[in-house]
Structure 1
């Protein structure tokens, strides 16, 4: 008998069981969740979801029990103050964005819109620090109405600039997409393989979708800022409408931040 045939195959002697995909997926999810929660925006958006979900419950009168309603109102108010604390120093990122605007803007219109977007948002975050100090009791609360009014105006102006920029960017993406589709169609007619172009088209459409979601988020946040400016007057400033807009904005932002992790 051949000695090689009597020797057991080491590959079959101690087979290694494949890793369970479920545990690996669970590990990936937990790792991504850890990274997400380590970010200031990640925690802020989770607080935003809980706050506006609570506001929707209160605005829709789903709960009639007075003790529970009081607790929900107290919870919503506390979460709102906590979110303002998370924004301390956040205006610095808008200052840095303004510093680089001169190099990233390719036209005078883009430059002006960047100044409006980042300038308005930066002033909003800066004033919000004093609003938080007022709600925390360090600043005289009589100054809060004026501070909140200025904050809402700055936020609204910032979102106006941001939405305008995204409209221009979406037009450029649409034009780039049409050119890419035309080149792919021409390559198909000539029998040329264009796998790389298809990959570019897929990424471009993903970018387009994220840009649209970002614009919807800005419109929802702008609606809430407008409601603050109008002191809750008007149909678009109804509590249920504003709360729904806030929840939509929070969900979109959470989705964007989760993907970025």
Structure 2
């Protein structure tokens, strides 16, 4: 493969990545938080970049709440414990609510929605939904780690028992062979 072919392949991957709204959102997030860090809360260019990037990122989330609505009504894998199911569905409901309300916040900040007080209230409510979603996600992940740990422990015990059983079997076979040679 020539250098030009390799470069074309790598550029094709970059193009595929940049064609996704989530990828552009992640790039904007890096710009937003980088400028927030640089501004250190002080007015100036960096703070203006932070504010405008924050507003621009909200456009990438338009109708994204549908994804979590779909997750909310989708069936869960069999064998998933009820607490994890409830936490997962709560996460979907809270995140979907956050993303929906965030669109109203964007409409208020862009001047389309005129009731500024209501938009600010919905913004605070949406942040609580996001916080609740994050807590549910953390608890689900911890629960899944616990399930994986228990499964690994169970497999290790089964392997140890299998190894002991095989070891006894091979010792029995060896002793049988040596007894046969002795006869």
- Give the TM-score normalised by structure 2: 0.77
**Greater relative contact order, per chain length (Cα 8 Å cut-off, separation 6+):** 1
Question: Per-residue deviation at 1:174?
Answer: 2.3
Q: Is contact 1:89-1:126 (8 Å) kept? A: yes
Unmatched runs of 5 consecutive residues or more in structure 2: 168-183
Question: Per-residue deviation at 1:25?
Answer: 4.1
| CA pair 175-30 structure 1, distance change in 2 beyond 3 A | farther
What CA deviation, in whole Å up to 9, does each residue of 1:163-182 have, x standing for no partner?
11111111122233445556
Is 2:151 the partner of 1:170?
A: no
Equivalent-residue separation in structure 2 for 1:170 and 1:135 (angstroms): 40
Q: What's the RMSD between the two structures over aligned residues?
A: 2.8
| Equivalent residue, structure 2, for 1:239 | none
| Equivalent residue, structure 2, for 1:148 | 123
Question: Per-residue deviation at 1:51?
Answer: 0.4
What is the aligned residue count?
164
1:139 is paired with a residue whose SS is coil
Please list every run of at least 4 consecutive aligned residues from structure 1 whose deviation after the TM superposition is greater than 6 angstroms: none
Is 2:36 the partner of 1:36?
A: no
1:128 is paired with a residue whose SS is helix
| Equivalent residue, structure 2, for 1:132 | 106
Equivalent-residue separation in structure 2 for 1:73 and 1:96 (angstroms): 36
| CA pair 154-28 structure 1, distance change in 2 beyond 3 A | same
- Is the radius of gyration larger for structure 1 or structure 2? 2
Equivalent-residue separation in structure 2 for 1:101 and 1:114 (angstroms): 11
| CA pair 34-160 structure 1, distance change in 2 beyond 3 A | same
| Equivalent residue, structure 1, for 2:61 | 87
| Equivalent residue, structure 2, for 1:123 | 97
1:151 is paired with a residue whose SS is helix
What CA deviation, in whole Å up to 9, does each residue of 1:166-225 have, x standing for no partner?
1111112223344555639x67xx79xxxxxxxxxxxxxxxxxxxxxxxxxxxxxxxxxx
Question: Per-residue deviation at 1:38?
Answer: 1.1
| Equivalent residue, structure 1, for 2:37 | 56
Equivalent-residue separation in structure 1 for 2:105 and 2:44 (angstroms): 23
What CA deviation, in whole Å up to 9, does each residue of 1:115-143 have, x standing for no partner?
21101000000000100000000112232
Equivalent-residue separation in structure 1 for 2:27 and 2:64 (angstroms): 17
What CA deviation, in whole Å up to 9, does each residue of 1:73-115 have, x standing for no partner?
2111111011011111000000100111456673321221012
